[in-house]
Each structure stands twice: as C-alpha cells, then as structure tokens.
Amino acid sequence: MWVKRGDVHAETSADVVATKEAGVTDAIAEFARRGVSRVALQAHIAGPILKFYAVADGRFFSWYPADGRATGTWRSTRTACGNWSLPPRAR
C-alpha cells in the first residue's frame, strides 16, 4: 500500500510512504503527528516506480524512474506505459 499526503503535493519523502496493509493505521497516525489531516491510500501495483512532475494545464510533464536511471516526456511516457490519454491541452 501507498499512503500519501492528501492535502497538497508531496513536499518531503515522508509525504509518500510504502507500507504493508497491516501498517496503514500506523502510517496514518504518523501523518497526523506531523499535522497532516488528509491522506490518500493507493494499492501498490507491481512494476517500475515512476516519479513525475506536471503542470495542471499540460504545458509541462516530466517523469523519471525512482532509481533515477532515465527521464522522459509525456510522449515517451505514453510509449512506455501503453495506451492512455492526456488532457486535451497537453496533446
């Protein structure tokens, strides 16, 4: 499971936490101790972990694997990740 800060984007490495399902309650409590009252839970999907940065209107989108080996743009991401769609302004 991933437990992620739910009020704003991730600001520190502590804002995105991987944990086993049994550790979710403790992870949420740790967010609360830091003053973060909203979190998002996401099931882990096996495969490479990608980090990304984007601007809402689609003018900027960049990604890189968590291991830092390569970078890409939305065009190369589409090729790497298969058939998915971007907002109209990003096409």
The torsion angles phi and psi of 74, rounded to 5 degrees, stand at -60, -30
Whether 11 shows a pLDDT value over 60: the answer reads yes
What is the average pLDDT value for the chain, to the nearest integer?
Answer: 77
- Nearest to residue 21, comparing CAs of 4, 35, 42, 39? 42
> What pLDDT is attached to residue 37?
92
What is the rounded distance in angstroms from the CA atom of residue 19 to the CA atom of residue 32?
16
